[in-house]
Amino acid sequence: MSEKQQGPDAALAVGGVAALLASTCCLGPLVLVTLGASGAWIGNLTRLEPYRPIFLSAAFVAMFFAGRWIYRPAQECAPGDACAVPQVRTAHKVLFWIVAVLVLVALAFPYLMPFFY
């Protein structure tokens, strides 16, 4: 796979990982308690809370570059590139919106958390 074809994949992966890391401090303990796990060690997951803005910023930057890459006109793609194939473009768009939902959950969850605890 050429470097041009890895653009949206790498940006979507970075955005997804950053969104998961941003939600770890808040969503992680809730999921673990919901699944029946308990203990004082769950409180240690909140140590990532100070880094949440950094993770969210990384997610937004990655999503910006992925969106620019994915939603560019098909005419800009060379005929042999993956971005010229309609199925690949559709798959990237679906993945983009899945990761966008993850980022929005990571962004909104601390404000919605009081309704769950």
CA distance 6 to 83: 10
The pLDDT of residue 74: 66
What pLDDT was estimated at residue 43? 63
pTM exceeds cut of 0.75: no
Task: State residue 59's pLDDT score.
Answer: 83
pLDDT score for 42: 65
- The reported pLDDT for the residue numbered 102 is 81
pLDDT at position 3 over 60: no
Query: What's the rounded Cα separation, in Å, for the pair 25 and 43?
Result: 9
pLDDT in tens, 26-84: 666 667 767 777 666 666 666 777 878 888 888 888 888 888 888 877 667 777 777 77
Query: Is the pLDDT confidence value at 4 over 60?
Result: no
Rounded mean pLDDT of 14-25?
74
Would the CA dihedral through 83, 88, 92, 94 be positive or negative?
positive
In the prediction, which pLDDT does 37 show? 72
So what's the pLDDT on residue 101?
A: 86
